Amino acid sequence: MTVFLKFAHLAAIAIWSGGLLVLPFLFWQRGTVADGPDLDRLHRITRFVYVGMTSPAAVIAIGSGTALIFLQATFQEWFSLKMVLVGAMVMLHVVAGLVLGHLFLPNGRFSLFSYLVLTSAYLVLVSAIIWIVLAKPHVDSNDFAPGVFKPGALGQFFSDIRTPTP
């Protein structure tokens, strides 16, 4: 079962990452296509890449990854860093959806600068996640946040917050 989940996880990550890297290029094509059947075709292709491929792959990647966490008991600090980067990737996935929602309106546009920034952000995030997973660097949370993982630390952190008395 673990082997199947790993395969599903890796395949979904490949589709998710590839889709996110293709989307900014498709967004940029909006400026080169005039209204008419070509614009309609570009819109359908872009929506299919986002809704039909990239989003389901993201759900499968996150679901299978969550199952793998519990099957393999991956509770190390490098993994927390990976989860932060995956969260950023999810947020940029949502950004792509918001861009797509506005891009094909009558005055929608996506500049070359936006294309370069979004593509670079995806490349950096995907590369960083791959590096962290392969290198599994030693991260000592005590160097930058001492006591965060100590039992009871959350209670001490919020000790200043009092519940109001009626």
Q: What is the DSSP string of 9-36?
A: HHHHHHHHHHHHHHHHHHHHGGGG--TT
Instruction: With cut-offs at 50, 70 and 90, classify the pLDDT of residue 54.
Output: very high
Indicate yes or no: pTM above 0.85. Answer: no
Confidence at residue 131, expressed as pLDDT on a 0 to 100 scale: 95
d(CA 61, CA 158): 34
Host domain of residue 21: 2-137
Is 8 contained in some domain? yes
Is 108 contained in some domain? yes
Is 148 contained in some domain? no
Locate 150 and state its tokens: 């100590």
Confidence at residue 161, expressed as pLDDT on a 0 to 100 scale: 64
Q: Which residue has the tokens 């967004």?
A: 27
Is 162 contained in some domain? no
Is 165 contained in some domain? no
Helices (H), 35-152: 37-47, 55-72, 77-103, 112-135, 141-144
The count of domains in the chain is 1
**b vs e for 91-111, b when ≥16 Cβ sit within 10 Å of the residue's Cβ?**
ebbeebeebbeebbeeebebe
Query: How does pLDDT run across 82-105, given as a tens digit for each residue?
Result: 999 999 999 999 999 999 999 988
Instruction: With cut-offs at 50, 70 and 90, classify the pLDDT of residue 50.
Output: very high
Is 155 contained in some domain? no
Is 46 contained in some domain? yes
Query: How does pLDDT run across 5-38, given as a tens digit for each residue?
Result: 999 999 999 999 999 999 999 999 988 887 788 8
Query: How does pLDDT run across 110-166, given as a tens digit for each residue?
Result: 999 999 999 999 999 999 999 999 998 887 777 766 766 677 776 776 775 655 556
**Element at 5 (helix H, strand E):** helix 2-28
